[in-house]
Amino acid sequence: MRILGLGTMALMLALGACHDDVRTGAPVANGARAVALLHGADGAAAGQATATEVAGGLRFTIDVKGLPPGTHGAHVHTIGTCTPPDFASAGGHWNPTGMKHGSMNPQGPHEGDLPNLVIGTDGRGAIGITIPGATMAGLLDGDGSSLVVHANRDDMMTDPSGNSGPRIACGVFAAG
């Protein structure tokens, strides 16, 4: 079952801070990993995103630097290409199950939906969440996938993008 609301997402974020299965609370061994090195439109390094295979899904962690302060949408996108300046090459959100966008959408969320990323006045921010049902094979399929940070906050409801605005940073996931 996918996340159905903000309360559940907050609970999963809290549980995800430890290395336990979000369904059972049992410790899990780290599995396969993929890393995306993030860059801004100007090519400057902007941090990294990591996907780690855990029991029942993928754990995503994002650690950014040098981005504008505020709340920003962060999503897994369906194509592993990040061509600046607009990163449109990354395609739409990763959505292998055909759900709608957003944890507050009754027909969502999809696998590419991640929580908003809050960036402090120092340009740094981090999030972590486990997405149940997501697989490394799906993430690293034939055309790959990428992690995109958007200029605005995600409203967690509007399909297909949560009104999160232009793409300001992007990185391609690679097995590692």
Q: What is the pLDDT of residues 19-33, one digit of tens each?
A: 333 333 333 445 899
Q: How many domains does the chain have?
A: 1
What integer pLDDT is reported at residue 96 of this predicted model?
A: 82
CB atoms near residue 137 (< 10 Å) = 9
Residue 95: inside a domain = yes
Residue 98: inside a domain = yes
Residue 27: inside a domain = no
**Residue 105 binned pLDDT confidence (cut-offs 50, 70, 90):** low
More confident residue, 8 or 32: 32
**What CATH number should be reported for the domain holding residue 86?**
2.60.40.200
Q: Which residues of 165-174 are buried (b: 16+ CB within 10 A; e: fewer)?
A: eebbbbbbbe
Residue 26: inside a domain = no
Model pLDDT for residues 121-134, shown as the tens digit of each residue: 999 999 999 999 89
pTM attached to this predicted model:
0.80
**Residue 138 binned pLDDT confidence (cut-offs 50, 70, 90):** very high
Residue 25: inside a domain = no
Residue 124: inside a domain = yes
Domain housing 160? 6-17+32-175
Residue 1: inside a domain = no
Q: Cα(21)–Cα(31) distance, rounded to whole angstroms?
A: 13
**Residue 12 binned pLDDT confidence (cut-offs 50, 70, 90):** very low
Residue 92: inside a domain = yes
